[in-house]
Amino acid sequence: MDLDEDDFVFFGTPIEREEEITSRKKKAVAEASGQLRTLPVWKQEVTDEEGRRRFHGAFTGGFSAGYYNTVGSKEGWTPQKFVSSRKNRAEVKQQSILNFLDEDERADLEGQSLGTSMQFDTFGFTAAELARKQAEKEQQQRPSAIPGPVPDELVLPATESIGVKLLLKMGWRHGHSIKDSRPSSLYDARREARKAFLAFSSDDAKAQLAESESVQGNLESITEQPTNDDVQSHQNTPVYVRNPKQDLHGLGFDPYKHAPEFREKKRSRMSGKRETGNRKADSAKDNLFGFKSGNVAPGFGIGALEEFDAEDEDVYAAGFDFVDTYVQEVEEPSKLMTDSKPKLLAKETGVLPGFRVASNSDYQLERFDPPVIPKDFVPCHKFPGPLETNYRLADPPPPEVPPPEDNNLKLLIEGVATLVARCGKLYEDLSKEKNQSNPLFNFLTGGNGHDYYTRKLWEEQQKRTDQSRQQVDVKQSSSMRKMTAESRGKILGERPLERSIKDLSSSVASAEGIQLQFNLSDTFTEPASSSGLHEAVKPFKDDPAKQERFERFLKEKYQGGLRSTDSSGSSNMSEASRARERLDFEAAAEAIQKGQWGKESKHFSATGGMQFTSGGVEQAKGTEAEDLITKKMFPKREEYQWRPAPVLCKRFDLIDPYMGKPAPAPRMRSKIDTLIFTSDSAKETKVEETIIANRDFSMLQSDVQGISQDVAIKENEVEVEVENVERPVDLYKAIFSDDSDDEGETTSLNKVENPEKKIEAATTTLNRLIAGDFLESLGKELGLEVPPDLPQSTNMAKTPASQKEAANTNVGDSNILPVKNNPSSTVFSETLNHEVPHNRKIAIESRSDKNEVIHGKLAKSVGIYMETGSTENNLDKVDLEKRVHEDSKAKTPSSRRKNWNSNSSSEDERSRKQSKRHRHRSGDSDSDSSSDHRDRYRSRSKGRKKESSREKSGSSRRHSKHHKHRSRDSPGRSRNDSDREHREAKREKRRKRD
């Protein structure tokens, strides 16, 4: 009814691409915004493939120029060349289907249209064929007297022969005699003249004429024809219409021959009876009979002066019909109605018109009674399997035959025998057939080992029948007598089956016996399990291995006989656990005896389980408890913040509770989550620390490690609460691009870096120790008071790289430390190798480098450094000056980084790097000695910079790490500042002195 064009039925899930989705979305939006299709053309917006509004250029139409929704083409609207119509008239272009076809389609069409052309169709066969097809098509719509398709041979549609065609070409028309057409033209002229004459003569006549013309236009010719005899004589070939015979009268008999009014009556009655669905037929009939009856055609209405007679009711009947159908069209055709309608129609159409469905027919269905089922018939198929085996058992057993020498063959034979015994003779036949060519299977067909095979087969079959017999026994007893296995056992004084099996199997060979035993126990206990015995015997069913051992234990206990001391399961158990298990088993066996089979087995198994299985019981208890808890616990109410969208509030006609408040931060998953997360990470780092510590600090004492770890953990704990403040990382990145380059270039080194980060915690403490030592010594040297308890060392604000160096530091290598006097430089001087001389060299170089820079910048401060620094450096520095300077310029971050990771690389570069750092620092400290504040800010910013770089490099790391660094940062910074203050103060003093 309302078929939306967009709705297709899709099968499967289409793989959607991003762009498709977006474009579709856009389309959807466009459609939703006022249904594009319904908009007038000039209001529609033209969009291109991406959904953008199309702009054609200011001079070519702006936003709404041609092609998409107006005239034109892709190339634009091109005016046709002017052709003067004065001389050569514009030809009317004849369009054919070929104009609209593609090349390939055209080729297809042309290739296929093979057939006689109409030109050569002398006898009109092809035309006849076509006409027949046409008629068949029409047949569908046209009702006919004979229901169903009319046989082709019976009704041949009239076709025009070539003669008729020729005549037609010459101007002949159907219904006209073959005559010159000129008189007709003459007649036309005359008619015109007469019309004019009539108009001229009288007004009345004219009015009458007009009326008659308008109302009965087609009758005009008839009324006028009598005036002209010539014309009438032309129409001497009547068009022959075959009327379908619809009555029951004999051929050619017309009962209304002399009473046409009755015919009319009958017809109207018929049409009244007809359903609306057949209205077409009625109208067709109207046309057929229209001329003869002279009835007023429906739809013309009745004039005021005309008589209102019975015939006119037809008009209204038709009108009523129309209304009726209208109603039906509007109303949704309900299921009920459609159900009833076809029945009605079927009733009508299934019967030939004029026939009636007979109320009673002679034809009677002959019915046959179903066969009588014999009273003793049991609707259950019995398989002759056991019977067969029984029958076979009657045969004398084949003689015992020694197995063939070939072990493989023996195994094969045994295997086949068991299979055959299990699956029946069919399997034997099958394998015989399959392995005809295989020499290994000769024993099947009577070759080598056949005797052994038959013997084996017999044995197996015997075994199986034993089993099945027992099985049948059990089944019978349990099903027929409704007796449990235990009760039967009690009555008969039997032992449980497994033990009896043992007896049985003891006579058989050992390896086989086990197999058999398992088979038997399986087959036997299965039916028993339904009664609960199976469960009862298995108090350790949670642990199958244990259960197995328990069963063995039981056997041993109650039966004696052969004891397998080296039980496979318990062999790998410790002595203690075996003892414990044995105790368990004893208790279980006792319990089983006590609560012997008479008791409700299920109950027993439950209690037994409680007693003897440790894990399972607790679990069961746990679940029960849980159930209780859940009952108590639920429903559990929790409340969260939730921010409704402003639009939603508006639509619900409520005031937004969060109006004017900033958008909330994305909702935390839950606090617990983050806590778990951090603790996890802390744990991880701890573990990693230890690992790395073991690897890297092998030379370190273990107590140092311990301290460092402890401290690290503590720090982690503290840092959980530290608020994460977003820092404009990118800014720093932009400024100090060398740091970012580091990570960009050395992706492979990041792996190495990560462990570095992880050992930072350890390093810090280490550094603290070193720094503490150092500062003390420094303080002594400078004659300053060093705060005895420094929270953290200066290198807190350092890059991880420097920290790694620090990590590599030999603790005992303290001889370098005194060399350094500038607190900020301590960090870098710690870049120590294990080789002392080298270290020494670096230290010297770094010193010199620093001094050089200072020289270049501020001569004043040189003195300070000279004083504090070692004297050798001063001597060397002039020589080194230039080289170092250049090197520091040429230095690339990547090389530097590589150095960090490979300790064995040249010392020069390291020193160069250090020099750069020093320059920075010195610049900081020296540039603005007066304003402490700014200095501090700088150092902080530097710290941040380092921090940022670290963040970048370790972007993949977890969050908590950042916390760690940051928190470690701050005390370090403060330390730095205090140090600097000290220095500054000192420097000022000296200046004054100078």
Partner 1 sequence: MSELEVPGKEANVLKGHEGAVLAARFNSDGNYCLSCGKDRTIRLWNPHRGIHIKTYKSHAREVRDVHVTPDNSKLCSCGGDRQIFYWDVSTGRVIRKFRGHDGETNCLLLLVDLYSTGLDLGDSHLVNAVKFNEYSSVVVSAGYDQSLRAWDCRSHSTEPIQVIDSFSDSVMSVCLTKSEIIGGSVDGTVRTFDIRIGREISDDLGQPVNCISMSNDGNCILASCLDSTLRLLDRTSGELLQEYKGHTCKSYKLDCCLTNTDAHVTGGSEDGFIYFWDLVDASVVSSFRAHSSVVTSVSYHPKDSCMITASVDGTIRVWKT
Binding site for partner 1 (CB under 8 A): 1-4, 7-10, 13, 25, 28-29, 32-34, 332, 334-336, 630, 633-645, 647-649, 651-655, 657-658, 667
Q: Residue 312's closest CA among 321, 324, 303, 323?
A: 303
Q: Minimum CB separation from partner 1 for residue 41, in Å?
A: 21
The two three-digit tokens of residue 490, written as one number: 């009690």
Q: Minimum CB separation from partner 1 for residue 811, in Å?
A: 51
Q: Cβ–Cβ contacts within 10 Å for residue 361, how many?
A: 7
Give the type of residue at 64: S
In whole angstroms, what is the distance from residue 303 CA to residue 313 CA?
Answer: 14
Q: Render the burial of 403-429: b for 16+ CB within 10 Å, e for the rest.
A: ebeeeebbebbbebbbebbeeeeeebe
Q: Residue 30 or 419: which CB sits closer to partner 1? A: 30
Q: Minimum CB separation from partner 1 for residue 18, in Å?
A: 13
Whether 868 and 933 have beta carbons less than 8 Å apart is answered as no
Q: Render the burial of 784-815: b for 16+ CB within 10 Å, e for the rest.
A: eebeeebebbbbbbbbbbbbbbbbbbeeebee
SS3 readout for 880-929: HHHHHHHHHHHCCHHHHHHHHHCCCCCHHHHHHHHHHHHHHHHHHHHHCC
Q: Minimum CB separation from partner 1 for residue 659, in Å?
A: 10
Q: Residue 376 or 639: which CB sits closer to partner 1? A: 639
Q: Minimum CB separation from partner 1 for residue 666, in Å?
A: 11
Pure H helices in 277-331: 279-293, 313-330
Q: Minimum CB separation from partner 1 for residue 642, in Å?
A: 4
Q: Residue 673 or 886: which CB sits closer to partner 1? A: 673
Q: Residue 183 or 644: which CB sits closer to partner 1? A: 644
Give the type of residue at 649: C
Q: Residue 240 or 640: which CB sits closer to partner 1? A: 640
Whether 458 and 398 have beta carbons less than 8 Å apart is answered as yes
- In the numeric block, the tokens 């200072």 are attached to 854
* Bridge partners of residue 53, in order along the sequence: 47
Entry field: residues in the chain: 994
Q: Minimum CB separation from partner 1 for residue 343, in Å?
A: 17
Q: Minimum CB separation from partner 1 for residue 959, in Å?
A: 23
Q: Minimum CB separation from partner 1 for residue 329, in Å?
A: 14
Task: For residue 521, report the phi and psi dihedrals to the nearest 5 degrees.
Answer: -60, -40
Q: Residue 333 or 791: which CB sits closer to partner 1? A: 333
Q: Minimum CB separation from partner 1 for residue 345, in Å?
A: 21
Q: Minimum CB separation from partner 1 for residue 195, in Å?
A: 54
Q: Is the peptide bond before 496 cis (omega within 30 degrees of 0)?
A: no
Q: Minimum CB separation from partner 1 for residue 657, in Å?
A: 4
The three-state secondary structure class of 357 is coil
Q: Residue 447 or 657: which CB sits closer to partner 1? A: 657
In whole angstroms, what is the distance from residue 272 CA to residue 295 CA?
Answer: 16
Radius of gyration of the chain (CA): 56
DSSP state of 476: I
Q: Minimum CB separation from partner 1 for residue 4, in Å?
A: 5
The two three-digit tokens of residue 497, written as one number: 């089956």
Q: Cβ–Cβ contacts within 10 Å for residue 458, how many?
A: 19
Whether 597 and 536 have beta carbons less than 8 Å apart is answered as yes
The two three-digit tokens of residue 799, written as one number: 């890059």
Whether 539 and 590 have beta carbons less than 8 Å apart is answered as no
In whole angstroms, what is the distance from residue 96 CA to residue 109 CA?
Answer: 13
Whether 986 and 784 have beta carbons less than 8 Å apart is answered as yes
Give the type of residue at 141: Q
Q: Residue 332 or 362: which CB sits closer to partner 1? A: 332
In whole angstroms, what is the distance from residue 808 CA to residue 793 CA?
Answer: 16
Q: Residue 1 or 97: which CB sits closer to partner 1? A: 1
Q: Residue 610's closest CA among 600, 601, 620?
A: 620
Q: Cβ–Cβ contacts within 10 Å for residue 454, how many?
A: 18
Q: Is 457 exposed, middle or buried (0-12, 13-18, 19+ CB in 10 A)?
A: buried
Q: Residue 243 or 641: which CB sits closer to partner 1? A: 641
Q: Residue 175 or 664: which CB sits closer to partner 1? A: 664
Q: Residue 36 or 281: which CB sits closer to partner 1? A: 36
Q: Residue 11 or 59: which CB sits closer to partner 1? A: 11
In whole angstroms, what is the distance from residue 990 CA to residue 464 CA?
Answer: 112
Give the type of residue at 711: V
Q: Residue 290 or 664: which CB sits closer to partner 1? A: 664
Q: Residue 16 or 153: which CB sits closer to partner 1? A: 16
Helix (H) or strand (E) holding 100: none
Q: Minimum CB separation from partner 1 for residue 639, in Å?
A: 5
In whole angstroms, what is the distance from residue 99 CA to residue 93 CA?
Answer: 11
Q: Minimum CB separation from partner 1 for residue 401, in Å?
A: 59
Q: How far is CA 935 from the centre of its chain?
A: 59
Q: Minimum CB separation from partner 1 for residue 39, in Å?
A: 14
Q: Residue 36 or 209: which CB sits closer to partner 1? A: 36
Q: Residue 2 or 75: which CB sits closer to partner 1? A: 2
Q: Minimum CB separation from partner 1 for residue 31, in Å?
A: 9
Q: Residue 7 or 726: which CB sits closer to partner 1? A: 7
Q: How far apart are the first and last CA of the chain?
A: 105
Q: Minimum CB separation from partner 1 for residue 8, in Å?
A: 7
Task: For residue 76, report the phi and psi dihedrals to the nearest 5 degrees.
Answer: 105, 170
